Structure 1
Amino acid sequence: MRARCVRTWLAAALALLSSLAIADDFDYGLQPRQVAADTWVVFGKPENFSRSNGGDIANTAFIVTGAGVVVIDTGPSKRYGQQLRAAIGRITTEPVVAVYLTHHHPDHALGNQSFKDVPIRALAGTIDGLREQGADFNSNLYRMTGDWMRGTEPLLPQEAVTAGEVTIGRHTLQLLALKGHTAADLAILDRSTGTLFSGIVFNGRTPATPNATISDWLSSLQQLQALQPARIVPAVGPVGDTAMLAHDADYLRWLDGSLRQAAAQGVDMAEALRLPIPARFDDFALLREEYQRSVAHLYPAIERASLGVAE
């Protein structure tokens, strides 16, 4: 009997140690950094999705308003969302009172489950996109990152928002309804600090185009430029100024123009994948990889248009 008790105790102890090891393995190590008054950003890694980063490739942010915390994007998994809430709790005792999603991509919206007790708000098109693609995003991210995604399921925002202003505590937020990176891209200008949050802006990482309409994207970047914010929190990369808008726009114009020229010259996709990329974009992480994805995303429709083939 004594030996059986000892074996049972050892088994329980080993199970506990194993669970603790697994928990440590799946720690995102989130460290919020203050970028303005009341304003914090958790910076993602300018990488591809992988098991080493758990999908943590995009920035999330939050504002401590005095009347509760406003969260901007929830990250790539339920686990990330839980750890984001814990990180917020290390900064303030104010409760989370609202979440805003910039768009429906998985690195921005699959942490929603961890905020299901508060209003999650997004543009109607973002809600539609997550409804249509969320399950595929979820399974693809599980395939690429493994058990970081355990327990994660898409959760749709409860509230559709439109362009306008909302005041929460000491902060007035201007909501802008844009498009181009996706069919619905929410940007948020905090008028109280001059801080702009936008999922269509990339700083130091090549802009991603899986749902892009480049003409709309360029128009949206112009609208953001006109706001003249004091600082910009991009989808990926460090906080910066409006110079990043011009750099993104330069790349997108080059990408669109080069692919259209290639199609007009009868260049096939295999050749388009190997087109040279100007050296002025060498500061973008994942440049060749993301360019090749863009060719896959965009070139078939550009080819059809060059041949006069209707969609």
Structure 2
Amino acid sequence: MLAGSAVAAAFDYGLKARRVADGVYAFIGHTEDFDTVNGGNIANAAFIVAPGGVIVVDSGSSLRYGQQMRAAIAAVTDKPVALVINTHHHPDHFLGNQAFAGVPIGALAETRQAIAAEGDAFAENLFRMSGDWMKGTELQQPTRTLAAGPLEIAGRRLRLLAFDGHTGADLVVVDEASGVVIAGDLVFHGRAPTTPHANVAHWLAALDRLEALTRELGFKVLLPGHGEPSTSAAPIRETRAWLVWLVDAMRQAARDGLDMNEVLARPLPPEFASLPLAASEYRRSVGHLFPAAEQDVLEGRAQ
């Protein structure tokens, strides 16, 4: 507790760039929910050192995070940041944008729309959960619209893949030179997935497509939005397994005529019981997925 309190008191995220491949580095977030000790450092971010500059993928949860991220990047390379990419509109992935003022910030069109609509509310909510770590943080919207396809930036060739499911727009960044797939929150590893904006059917379809593409691309490293990098597609399968179980559990509970309190009281199956944040994410998911499952059962859509 003393170490955590000391870090929190100094508002130091302790960011250390981890090399995951040639020219590709990651900052690995804590496997926790937002609180005043971790300051919102719960998601992964990455950067690619290209011949003509640095490409940042996701900017973290606050102005402080973005500033400390820039300092950590500068400890690796003196090249300027050429582009910041936001993979989706959840606040732990874009509220550090403000630290990159003057740098182009790119996102899918739907992500830009969602940030414009919900970004201020997200920031206010993180102030409540993370406290003074958020001081000075203001919404900095993306300035450039990205689309699926090849992207040549700073002398590095990327392949952008556009999906939806975790949110209404989920961008995956493939660095062709290194074989690193930066998957954003389509993929969780060693942590229960979050579903507040999820269309689970679309998410499952996206995971199937992403797994097929990783085989086609012959990737070397998969960086999830939360959790440790992997040299296999196991995190995709892990995310899929949770979502399939979650949907089936909601539908079966609806068929059994359970009310929401009864569903919330159900124990997790053994294969998920020890997964970090499984209990809290299950409760959150019940709140917004169970009513839809009840409606599907009533209208005969759930088989």
Decide whether the 8 Å contact of 1:54 with 1:145 is kept in 2. Answer: yes
TM-score for the superposition, normalised by structure 1: 0.90
Which segments of 5 or more consecutive residues in structure 2 lack a partner in the other structure? Answer: 1-5
Deviation of 1:149 after TM superposition, in Å, equals 0.5
Count how many residue pairs are aligned between Structure 1 and Structure 2: 290
2:28 is aligned with 1:43: yes
Indicate the percent of aligned positions where both proteins have the same amino acid: 47
- Other-structure match for 2:227: 237
What residue is the counterpart of 1:274 in the other structure? 265
Give how far 1:24 is off: 6.0
Name the amino acid aligned to 1:236.
H
Q: Contact 1:119/1:159 (CA < 8 Å) preserved in 2?
A: yes
Secondary structure of 2:75 counterpart: helix
Residue of structure 1 in register with 2:3 after alignment = none
Q: Which has the larger radius of gyration?
A: 1
User: 1:30 aligned to 2:15?
Assistant: yes
Which residue number in structure 2 is paired with residue 305 of structure 1?
296
Equivalent position SS for 2:258: coil
Q: CA deviation at 1:171?
A: 2.6
Give runs of aligned pairs for residues 146-225 of structure 1, distance below 5 A.
146-199=131-184, 200-225=186-211
> For 1:237-262, what per-residue CA distance to the aligned partner results, in whole angstroms no more than 9, with x for missing partners?
11012011111101100100110111
3-state SS, counterpart of residue 210 of structure 2: helix
Deviation at 1:169, TM superposition (A): 4.1
Q: Residue 170 of structure 1 contacts residue 192 of structure 1 at CA under 8 Å; is this kept in 2?
A: no
Could you tell me which amino acid in structure 2 is paired with residue 230 of structure 1?
Answer: K
- 1:54-133 to structure 2, matched below 5 A, reads 54-133=39-118
Task: Tell me the residue number matched to 1:16.
Answer: none
Q: Deviations over 1:44-72 (max 9, x none)?
A: 00101000000000001000011100000
Query: Over aligned residue pairs, what C-alpha RMSD do you find?
Result: 1.8
CA-CA distance at 1:309 after TM superposition: 10
Tell me if structure 2 keeps the 8 A contact 1:204–1:283: no
Tell me whether 1:257 sits opposite 2:257 in the alignment.
Answer: no
Task: Give the Cα–Cα distance (whole angstroms) in 2 for the partners of residues 68 and 24 of structure 1.
Answer: 33
Label 1:23 to 1:180 Cα distance change in 2 as closer, same or farther (>3 A): closer
TM-score by length of 2: 0.92
The one-letter amino acid of 1:208's match is T
* Alpha-carbon distance in 2 for matches of 1:45, 1:175: 26
Contact 1:167/1:173 (8 A) holds in 2 = yes
Q: Which structure 1 residue ranges, 4+ long, deviate > 4 Å from structure 2?
A: 21-24
